[in-house]
Structure 1
Amino acid sequence: MAEKNFFKAKQSLNIKGKLIDLSTPKVMGILNITPDSFFSDSRTKTIEEAIKKTEQFLNEGATFIDIGGYSSRPGAKDITTDEELNRLIPVIESLVREFPEAIISIDTFRAKVAEETILAGAHIINDIAAGDMDEQMFETVGKLQVPYIMMHMQGTPQTMQQNPVYNDVLLDVIDYLGKKIAALKALNIHDVIIDPGFGFGKTIEHNYDLLNRMEAFEIFKLPILVGFSRKGMIHKILGTSAAEALNGTSVLNTIALQKGAGILRVHDVKEAVECIKLVGMLR
């Protein structure tokens, strides 16, 4: 597909009238309001813990705080929309009061959750399903006119690691994202971030093939978010665990930055900021 069919190159996001410059990569800190996220140390059980962790992330240099109320780990338990909202809304409202300048992203694939969390004070929607798990998502984002992160995933969190197959993982993901971008453009949605979906419906070999050829996503002229943080594609190779995968996360973040990543979504903000600073010296 010719470049003219895509958005012009973007190096900023419009957050309620405030422009966020992405010419220097930024860090997104993960705040899991779930009891079953794959990395146990990331689970936040109370509002007080959420406030404390958010303060830490901001002090360490995070630009975005990504809050999730639905675990998307392989085989995760499905929960209702109401339960997801009950987890998210009190935390959002508290963070907005405590940190009015913080930029809050909501990790959800549900249009109703997207709308109600934005109305509660959040700023960005981070959708692991790129609209595939809720046909109202694109229309809702178009109505809200907020930045939208869309990720490639084969299957659902419950099925995605059950023998994922591709003709060519890079070309298949590019084709998928290209069609989604065209649909978003038709709805006049301008602030779009793409996420190749490392670890979502992909084997370890698929993940490293995508990373190795990640420069190809520059065809879209859109910001690229990557999320390797403490995932199985690291600790399964090293024969360790998520708790021991920080060093490997930093290695992959560094490679991704050199290949065009604009946002690092991580559990460990300080280390990701350091990766950005050091890679920046090469530019």
Structure 2
Amino acid sequence: MFNYNELMDAKRTRIMGIINVTPDSFYSGSRVDETNLLIRVEQMIKDGVEIIDVGGESTRPGAEAVPLEEEIRRTVTAVKIIRKHFDIPISVDTYKSEVARLSIEEGADIINDISAMRFDEKMVEVASHYKCPVVLMHMKGNPKTMQENPEYKDVVAEIVEFFDERIRYAKEHGVDKLILDPGIGFGKKLEHNLEILKRIEEFRKLNYPLLIGASRKSMIGMILNLPPEERLNGTLAVTAYCAMHSVEIVRVHDVKENKEVVKIIEAIKSIKNS
């Protein structure tokens, strides 16, 4: 299934496709239910997706938490259905250890935790037991409060410091397959998000793969003055930038378009200087 060592070695950008089994994610085009789940995943695979990311709780700014039982019903059911039909790496987007555990038992490969294993103290136990890769994301506050005037003296330096602590914590508990997500839009103003992207190479000192999730987010809407439904072009610009900087994973809603951008950028990069 998912080969973490290959992710570490290959300097190319993979497409992670978003599957939201939620009724309230910020972009309506990403929402699926059991009736169209397999159709959506099959299309993503045809379009070149390399990881499917399944989430059962919206973490948009201001979002309310979903009860554990409901998130299990949404997420674990979706993982089980996808794994029954497709041999594709599956990431589970959750900060709840029980959702992660049950999803892994049904065939998920990666834990994508927006809290970087801070919100549920048992998450690190699950990750250690199953030896699965974990996405550690930076977020200031929680989804309900994170956009209430976040401030930083140096956003990149503070995120690097945060990752240093989280990496130590993970490794102390036997979790060493890590992917780092600076958390575009999670407790950041527009200028913070742009600073993160501009200085993306500074995260390389941490020696772990990077993930960027900017697809159709408010950062793009603020720059272009467009709603989520009209932010594809802006998303593709960010993906191109990430591919130029060899970001290992971009998490996106629109697989085909983003995959084509990455292919063009990587074709350009592959030409050796004469």
Output the TM-score relative to the length of structure 1. Answer: 0.91
- The residue aligned with 2:272 is none
Q: How does 1:144-159 map to 2 (within 5 A)?
A: 144-159=130-145
- The residue aligned with 1:172 is 158
Query: Given the alignment of the two structures, is residue 68 of structure 1 paired with residue 55 of structure 2, yes or no?
Result: yes
Distance 2:150 2:8 in 1: 36
- The residue aligned with 2:261 is 275
Distance 2:47 2:13 in 1: 15
Percent identity reads 39
Q: Deviations over 1:59-112 (max 9, x none)?
A: 10001000000000001121111110011122111111111x111100000111
Root-mean-square deviation (Å): 1.8
Q: Deviations over 1:177-202 (max 9, x none)?
A: 11111111222322211001000000
Change (3 A) 1:68 1:277: same
In the TM superposition, what is the alpha-carbon distance from 1:14 to its structure 2 partner? 5.3
- The residue aligned with 1:3 is none
Change (3 A) 1:248 1:158: same
Distance 2:61 2:139 in 1: 11
- The residue aligned with 2:186 is 200
In the TM superposition, what is the alpha-carbon distance from 1:17 to its structure 2 partner? 10
Output the TM-score relative to the length of structure 2. Answer: 0.94
Structure 2 residue corresponding to 1:33, chosen from 15, 21, 26? 21
In the TM superposition, what is the alpha-carbon distance from 1:260 to its structure 2 partner? 3.1
Runs of 4 or more consecutive aligned structure 1 residues displaced over 2 Å after TM superposition:
13-24
Q: Letter of the aligned partner of 1:48 in structure 2?
A: T
Distance 1:151 1:16 in 2: 17
- The residue aligned with 2:11 is 23
Counterpart contact for 1:15–1:146, Cα < 8 Å: no
- The residue aligned with 1:95 is 82
Counterpart contact for 2:12–2:243, Cα < 8 Å: no
In the TM superposition, what is the alpha-carbon distance from 1:23 to its structure 2 partner? 3.0
Distance 1:41 1:195 in 2: 23
Distance 1:147 1:64 in 2: 13
Aligned residue pairs, count: 269
In the TM superposition, what is the alpha-carbon distance from 1:215 to its structure 2 partner? 0.5
Unpaired stretches in structure 2, ≥5 consecutive residues: 270-274
SS in structure 2 at match of 1:48: coil
Change (3 A) 1:118 1:20: farther
Distance 1:237 1:259 in 2: 21
In the TM superposition, what is the alpha-carbon distance from 1:32 to its structure 2 partner? 0.2
Distance 2:43 2:13 in 1: 19
Counterpart contact for 1:15–1:147, Cα < 8 Å: no
Query: Given the alignment of the two structures, is residue 59 of structure 1 paired with residue 41 of structure 2, yes or no?
Result: no
Structure 1 residue corresponding to 2:200, chosen from 205, 214, 224? 214
Distance 1:132 1:152 in 2: 10
Counterpart contact for 2:19–2:53, Cα < 8 Å: yes
SS in structure 1 at match of 2:36: helix
Unpaired stretches in structure 1, ≥5 consecutive residues: 1-12
Q: Deviations over 1:201-231 (max 9, x none)?
A: 0001100011111110111111100001000
Counterpart contact for 1:218–1:260, Cα < 8 Å: no
SS in structure 1 at match of 2:164: helix
